[in-house]
Amino acid sequence: MIKLEIEGTDGAGKTTGLKYLIAQAKARGLSVVETREVGNPHIPACVKLRELVLDPKSNLTGEAMEAIFAAMRFENDAWLDKLAKSDDVPDLVVSDRGLFSHLAYTDHNVSASFTDAFYLETIADMTQLPDVVIYFDVNTETALKRRVKRGETMDVIEMKGVEYQEKVRMSFQNYLDRFGHTNGIMIYTVDANETVEGVQKQLDRILAHISSKI
């Protein structure tokens, strides 16, 4: 069972890419389970926690938000353990976001020192690392245009604005570089500034490489 996480800032095209990747994996005959790091649909309590923490009306402190995000990560870990021990173990578990979102966003939702103490020194050591990460790299202006085009109500994170998203983008790159050299995680970067067709071609190449490992 390969644990694969799709990462990127808001508006990077993660959801569209994730759906395409899963469809192509199934077309190759692979069994796939789709999930998400924040609000795992297979865990009812996590769905409720996601609604709470991302609702602007909750008005939570950054530290409180991260504590709730971490609680969801522990529940995800227990769910993954059960899945790996079940009678129907999938080839791929594809998650919308994962550890690197925690790291990149916490740097600016709280502080880099909090990220180190809370996530890197505690949570990361107590939970499972992904086997594969696909990072959708997009410039902040393009991501903003996509979010506006979606016309959806922004959650408490998206409301922080363009400058915040650019800082998060830089943190993503920092942590992916650090972990990619030290933890054996297969990290792929997708140029998400390209057209849908261009992104799909990149995902086809990545999936071909991942499939060879199964």
How confident is the model at residue 146, as a pLDDT? 65
Share of the chain above pLDDT 90, in %: 76
CATH number of 2-36+89-211: 3.40.50.300
Over range 61-69, report the average pLDDT.
Answer: 96
pLDDT band at 210 (very low <50, low <70, confident <90, very high): very high
Q: Distance (Å, rounded) from C-alpha 202 to C-alpha 187?
A: 13
Q: How far apart are the first and last CA of the chain?
A: 8
Which residues lie below 8 Å from residue 74, measured CB to CB, with a gap of 6+? 126, 127
How confident is the model at residue 153, as a pLDDT? 55
How confident is the model at residue 128, as a pLDDT? 93
Residue type, 9: T
For 6, list phi and psi in degrees, rounded to 5.
Answer: -100, 125
Domain ranges of the chain: 2-36+89-211
Q: Distance (Å, rounded) from C-alpha 102 to C-alpha 123?
A: 10
How confident is the model at residue 12, as a pLDDT? 87
The structure tokens listed for 4 are 């694969």
List pLDDT tens digits, range 92-116.
Answer: 999 999 999 999 999 999 999 999 9
Over range 72-100, report the average pLDDT.
Answer: 97
**Residue 47's CB: how many other CB atoms inside 10 A?**
16
List pLDDT tens digits, range 151-200.
Answer: 555 555 555 667 788 899 999 999 998 887 677 899 999 999 999 999 99
pLDDT higher for 83 or 214?
83
Q: State the pTM of this model.
A: 0.90
